[in-house]
Amino acid sequence: MEVIILNTPKEVEQMGGQLLAQQIQKKPASVLGLATGATMHGVYAYLSEQHLDFARIKTFNLDEYYGLGPQHRCSYHTYMRHHLFEKVNIQPENAHVPDGLTPDVEAHCREYENAIEQAGGIDLQLLGLGEDGHIGFNEPSSSLSAGMRIKTLTPMTRRTNQRDFPPGETMPMHVLTLGVGNIMAARRCLLLAHGAKKAPAVQAMVEGPITAMCPASALQQHRSTTVIVDEAAAAFLQLADYFRCVYKHKPEWQK
Protein backbone atom coordinates (compact mmCIF):
# COMPACT_ATOMS: atom_id res chain seq x y z
CA MET A 1 0.00 0.00 0.00
CA GLU A 2 1.41 3.34 -1.04
CA VAL A 3 0.45 6.22 1.29
CA ILE A 4 0.83 9.79 0.07
CA ILE A 5 0.33 12.64 2.54
CA LEU A 6 -0.46 16.05 1.07
CA ASN A 7 -1.13 19.38 2.77
CA THR A 8 -4.72 20.18 1.88
CA PRO A 9 -7.99 18.50 0.84
CA LYS A 10 -7.75 20.32 -2.49
CA GLU A 11 -4.36 18.75 -3.20
CA VAL A 12 -5.77 15.31 -2.38
CA GLU A 13 -8.70 15.76 -4.77
CA GLN A 14 -6.47 17.19 -7.50
CA MET A 15 -3.99 14.37 -7.32
CA GLY A 16 -6.87 11.89 -7.39
CA GLY A 17 -8.15 13.61 -10.53
CA GLN A 18 -4.68 13.63 -12.08
CA LEU A 19 -4.21 9.89 -11.53
CA LEU A 20 -7.59 9.16 -13.10
CA ALA A 21 -6.74 11.43 -16.02
CA GLN A 22 -3.44 9.60 -16.50
CA GLN A 23 -5.29 6.29 -16.53
CA ILE A 24 -7.67 7.58 -19.22
CA GLN A 25 -4.79 8.91 -21.33
CA LYS A 26 -2.78 5.72 -20.94
CA LYS A 27 -5.74 3.45 -21.77
CA PRO A 28 -8.57 5.28 -23.58
CA ALA A 29 -10.85 2.23 -23.19
CA SER A 30 -10.31 1.96 -19.43
CA VAL A 31 -12.91 0.53 -17.10
CA LEU A 32 -13.21 2.81 -14.09
CA GLY A 33 -14.80 2.02 -10.75
CA LEU A 34 -16.30 5.22 -9.38
CA ALA A 35 -17.39 6.48 -5.96
CA THR A 36 -19.60 9.33 -4.82
CA GLY A 37 -19.52 11.49 -1.67
CA ALA A 38 -18.09 14.87 -0.75
CA THR A 39 -14.48 13.78 -1.24
CA MET A 40 -15.10 13.18 -4.94
CA HIS A 41 -16.50 16.64 -5.77
CA GLY A 42 -13.07 18.10 -6.52
CA VAL A 43 -11.95 14.94 -8.32
CA TYR A 44 -14.81 15.11 -10.80
CA ALA A 45 -14.51 18.89 -11.14
CA TYR A 46 -10.85 18.43 -12.06
CA LEU A 47 -11.59 15.57 -14.47
CA SER A 48 -14.36 17.40 -16.29
CA GLU A 49 -12.06 20.39 -16.91
CA GLN A 50 -9.34 18.34 -18.62
CA HIS A 51 -11.06 17.81 -22.00
CA LEU A 52 -10.40 14.08 -21.76
CA ASP A 53 -11.91 11.67 -24.25
CA PHE A 54 -14.45 9.46 -22.48
CA ALA A 55 -15.84 8.01 -25.74
CA ARG A 56 -14.50 4.52 -24.99
CA ILE A 57 -14.43 4.74 -21.19
CA LYS A 58 -16.71 2.46 -19.20
CA THR A 59 -17.63 3.26 -15.61
CA PHE A 60 -19.23 1.28 -12.82
CA ASN A 61 -20.30 3.05 -9.66
CA LEU A 62 -19.86 1.31 -6.35
CA ASP A 63 -23.28 1.89 -4.89
CA GLU A 64 -26.79 3.31 -4.91
CA TYR A 65 -29.45 3.88 -2.27
CA TYR A 66 -32.02 1.11 -2.32
CA GLY A 67 -35.45 2.59 -2.97
CA LEU A 68 -34.27 5.68 -4.88
CA GLY A 69 -34.84 5.87 -8.64
CA PRO A 70 -32.33 7.35 -11.09
CA GLN A 71 -34.22 10.65 -11.24
CA HIS A 72 -34.45 11.12 -7.45
CA ARG A 73 -32.48 14.25 -6.58
CA CYS A 74 -30.53 12.45 -3.84
CA SER A 75 -29.72 9.30 -5.82
CA TYR A 76 -26.19 8.52 -6.88
CA HIS A 77 -27.41 8.45 -10.49
CA THR A 78 -28.25 12.12 -10.09
CA TYR A 79 -24.96 12.81 -8.29
CA MET A 80 -22.98 11.24 -11.14
CA ARG A 81 -24.92 13.01 -13.89
CA HIS A 82 -24.45 16.32 -12.14
CA HIS A 83 -20.76 15.95 -11.22
CA LEU A 84 -19.40 14.03 -14.21
CA PHE A 85 -21.55 12.31 -16.81
CA GLU A 86 -23.20 15.47 -18.16
CA LYS A 87 -19.82 17.19 -18.42
CA VAL A 88 -17.87 14.64 -20.47
CA ASN A 89 -18.49 12.67 -23.66
CA ILE A 90 -19.19 9.34 -21.97
CA GLN A 91 -21.68 7.12 -23.84
CA PRO A 92 -24.77 6.77 -21.60
CA GLU A 93 -24.76 2.99 -22.07
CA ASN A 94 -21.17 2.87 -20.75
CA ALA A 95 -21.94 4.65 -17.46
CA HIS A 96 -23.28 2.13 -14.96
CA VAL A 97 -24.82 2.83 -11.55
CA PRO A 98 -26.71 0.15 -9.58
CA ASP A 99 -30.49 0.31 -9.94
CA GLY A 100 -31.96 1.29 -6.57
CA LEU A 101 -35.44 0.32 -7.75
CA THR A 102 -34.63 -3.16 -8.99
CA PRO A 103 -37.45 -5.61 -8.26
CA ASP A 104 -34.94 -8.46 -7.96
CA VAL A 105 -31.88 -7.47 -5.94
CA GLU A 106 -30.10 -10.79 -6.23
CA ALA A 107 -30.49 -10.98 -10.04
CA HIS A 108 -29.49 -7.33 -10.47
CA CYS A 109 -26.36 -7.76 -8.37
CA ARG A 110 -25.25 -10.79 -10.40
CA GLU A 111 -25.98 -8.92 -13.69
CA TYR A 112 -23.97 -5.90 -12.51
CA GLU A 113 -21.02 -8.11 -11.57
CA ASN A 114 -21.29 -9.91 -14.93
CA ALA A 115 -21.28 -6.59 -16.76
CA ILE A 116 -18.04 -5.66 -14.98
CA GLU A 117 -16.53 -8.97 -15.98
CA GLN A 118 -17.71 -8.64 -19.60
CA ALA A 119 -16.10 -5.20 -19.72
CA GLY A 120 -12.79 -6.81 -18.76
CA GLY A 121 -12.75 -5.98 -15.04
CA ILE A 122 -12.02 -2.70 -13.30
CA ASP A 123 -8.70 -1.08 -14.26
CA LEU A 124 -8.82 1.62 -11.61
CA GLN A 125 -11.18 1.66 -8.64
CA LEU A 126 -11.71 5.04 -7.01
CA LEU A 127 -12.64 4.85 -3.31
CA GLY A 128 -13.59 7.19 -0.50
CA LEU A 129 -13.43 6.16 3.15
CA GLY A 130 -16.21 6.20 5.73
CA GLU A 131 -15.51 7.47 9.24
CA ASP A 132 -16.25 3.91 10.38
CA GLY A 133 -13.78 2.41 7.89
CA HIS A 134 -16.28 1.49 5.17
CA ILE A 135 -15.39 1.34 1.47
CA GLY A 136 -18.30 1.29 -0.92
CA PHE A 137 -20.99 0.75 1.69
CA ASN A 138 -19.31 -2.24 3.23
CA GLU A 139 -19.89 -1.32 6.84
CA PRO A 140 -17.95 -2.78 9.80
CA SER A 141 -18.51 -6.54 10.10
CA SER A 142 -18.91 -6.90 6.30
CA SER A 143 -17.33 -10.00 4.81
CA LEU A 144 -13.97 -9.14 3.31
CA SER A 145 -14.67 -11.39 0.34
CA ALA A 146 -18.31 -10.50 -0.35
CA GLY A 147 -19.71 -9.73 -3.76
CA MET A 148 -22.38 -7.17 -4.61
CA ARG A 149 -25.43 -7.22 -2.37
CA ILE A 150 -27.83 -5.16 -0.32
CA LYS A 151 -26.47 -3.73 2.94
CA THR A 152 -27.93 -1.87 5.89
CA LEU A 153 -26.22 1.43 6.68
CA THR A 154 -24.94 2.01 10.21
CA PRO A 155 -26.49 4.84 12.26
CA MET A 156 -23.17 6.71 11.90
CA THR A 157 -23.24 6.58 8.09
CA ARG A 158 -26.91 7.55 8.04
CA ARG A 159 -26.22 10.54 10.29
CA THR A 160 -23.30 11.65 8.10
CA ASN A 161 -25.11 11.23 4.79
CA GLN A 162 -28.32 12.87 6.01
CA ARG A 163 -26.54 16.11 4.94
CA ASP A 164 -27.27 15.15 1.30
CA PHE A 165 -31.02 14.96 1.93
CA PRO A 166 -33.20 18.06 2.26
CA PRO A 167 -34.85 18.68 5.65
CA GLY A 168 -37.89 16.49 6.14
CA GLU A 169 -36.64 13.84 3.72
CA THR A 170 -35.50 10.63 5.36
CA MET A 171 -32.61 8.88 3.75
CA PRO A 172 -32.89 5.20 2.94
CA MET A 173 -31.60 2.61 5.37
CA HIS A 174 -30.38 0.24 2.66
CA VAL A 175 -27.95 0.41 -0.24
CA LEU A 176 -26.83 -1.80 -3.09
CA THR A 177 -23.05 -1.97 -2.98
CA LEU A 178 -20.19 -3.79 -4.61
CA GLY A 179 -18.49 -5.94 -1.98
CA VAL A 180 -14.94 -5.85 -0.68
CA GLY A 181 -14.34 -8.95 -2.81
CA ASN A 182 -15.30 -7.00 -5.96
CA ILE A 183 -13.12 -4.07 -4.92
CA MET A 184 -10.15 -6.36 -4.30
CA ALA A 185 -10.52 -7.71 -7.86
CA ALA A 186 -9.76 -4.28 -9.36
CA ARG A 187 -6.33 -4.05 -10.94
CA ARG A 188 -5.56 -0.85 -9.07
CA CYS A 189 -7.26 0.98 -6.18
CA LEU A 190 -7.02 4.66 -5.41
CA LEU A 191 -8.44 5.72 -2.03
CA LEU A 192 -8.82 9.37 -1.08
CA ALA A 193 -9.62 10.75 2.38
CA HIS A 194 -9.28 14.13 3.99
CA GLY A 195 -10.25 15.87 7.20
CA ALA A 196 -9.68 15.14 10.90
CA LYS A 197 -12.85 13.03 11.17
CA LYS A 198 -11.25 10.44 8.89
CA ALA A 199 -8.02 10.17 10.93
CA PRO A 200 -9.05 7.14 13.07
CA ALA A 201 -10.29 5.22 10.02
CA VAL A 202 -7.15 6.06 8.04
CA GLN A 203 -4.97 4.78 10.87
CA ALA A 204 -7.02 1.58 11.21
CA MET A 205 -7.00 1.00 7.44
CA VAL A 206 -3.26 1.50 6.98
CA GLU A 207 -1.72 0.35 10.25
CA GLY A 208 -4.35 -1.69 12.03
CA PRO A 209 -5.00 -5.40 11.73
CA ILE A 210 -6.88 -6.67 8.66
CA THR A 211 -10.33 -7.00 10.12
CA ALA A 212 -13.97 -6.87 9.07
CA MET A 213 -14.36 -4.21 11.78
CA CYS A 214 -12.54 -1.90 9.34
CA PRO A 215 -13.40 -3.16 5.85
CA ALA A 216 -10.90 -0.75 4.25
CA SER A 217 -8.09 -2.63 6.04
CA ALA A 218 -8.57 -5.41 3.44
CA LEU A 219 -6.72 -3.10 1.03
CA GLN A 220 -3.50 -4.00 2.87
CA GLN A 221 -3.72 -7.22 0.89
CA HIS A 222 -4.44 -5.55 -2.44
CA ARG A 223 -1.47 -5.71 -4.77
CA SER A 224 -1.68 -2.14 -6.05
CA THR A 225 -3.38 0.43 -3.81
CA THR A 226 -2.53 4.09 -3.46
CA VAL A 227 -3.96 5.99 -0.49
CA ILE A 228 -3.89 9.78 -0.69
CA VAL A 229 -4.71 11.74 2.47
CA ASP A 230 -4.25 15.25 3.78
CA GLU A 231 -2.31 16.11 6.95
CA ALA A 232 -5.47 16.14 9.09
CA ALA A 233 -6.51 12.65 8.02
CA ALA A 234 -2.92 11.42 8.48
CA ALA A 235 -2.73 12.74 12.05
CA PHE A 236 -2.83 9.31 13.76
CA LEU A 237 -0.45 7.49 11.41
CA GLN A 238 2.56 6.22 13.33
CA LEU A 239 4.51 5.86 10.11
CA ALA A 240 3.59 9.30 8.74
CA ASP A 241 7.25 10.45 8.57
CA TYR A 242 8.23 7.27 6.80
CA PHE A 243 5.42 7.71 4.24
CA ARG A 244 6.51 11.33 3.63
CA CYS A 245 10.10 10.18 3.18
CA VAL A 246 9.13 7.39 0.76
CA TYR A 247 7.14 9.83 -1.37
CA LYS A 248 9.86 12.49 -1.34
CA HIS A 249 12.50 10.01 -2.45
CA LYS A 250 10.39 8.12 -4.94
CA PRO A 251 12.66 7.17 -7.82
CA GLU A 252 11.92 9.00 -11.07
CA TRP A 253 10.93 5.78 -12.89
CA GLN A 254 8.26 5.07 -10.30
CA LYS A 255 6.57 8.48 -10.37
Residues marked as catalytic:
63, 132, 134, 139
Query: Which amino acid is located at 95 in the chain?
Result: A
Measured CA to CA, the distance from residue 178 to residue 59 in angstroms comes to 13
Scanning 33-41, 141-149, 166-174, 242-250 for contacts with ligand F6R by CB under 6 A, the matching segment is 33-41
Subset of 118-137 contacting ligand F6R (CB under 6 A): 128-130, 134-136
Q: Does 226 bind ligand F6R (CB under 6 A)?
A: no
CA-to-CA separations, 68 to 6, 32, 40, 175, in angstroms, rounded: 36, 23, 21, 9
- Cα–Cα nearest to 98, from 80, 82, 86: 80
The verdict on 63 binding ligand F6R (CB under 6 A) reads yes
Distance CA 47, CA 162 (A): 27
> Please, what is the minimum distance in Å from the beta carbon of residue 42 to ligand F6R?
10
**CB neighbours (10 Å) of residue 31?**
23
Which residue number is nearest to ligand F6R in terms of Cβ?
128
Does position 45 interact with ligand F6R (CB under 6 A)? The reply is no
Q: Please give the single-letter amino acid code of residue 72.
A: H
Q: Among 33, 37, 172, 215, which residue interacts with ligand F6R (rule: CB under 6 A)?
A: 37
Interface with ligand F6R, residue 225, by CB under 6 A: no
Which residues are near ligand F6R by CB under 6 A? 35-39, 62-63, 128-130, 134-136
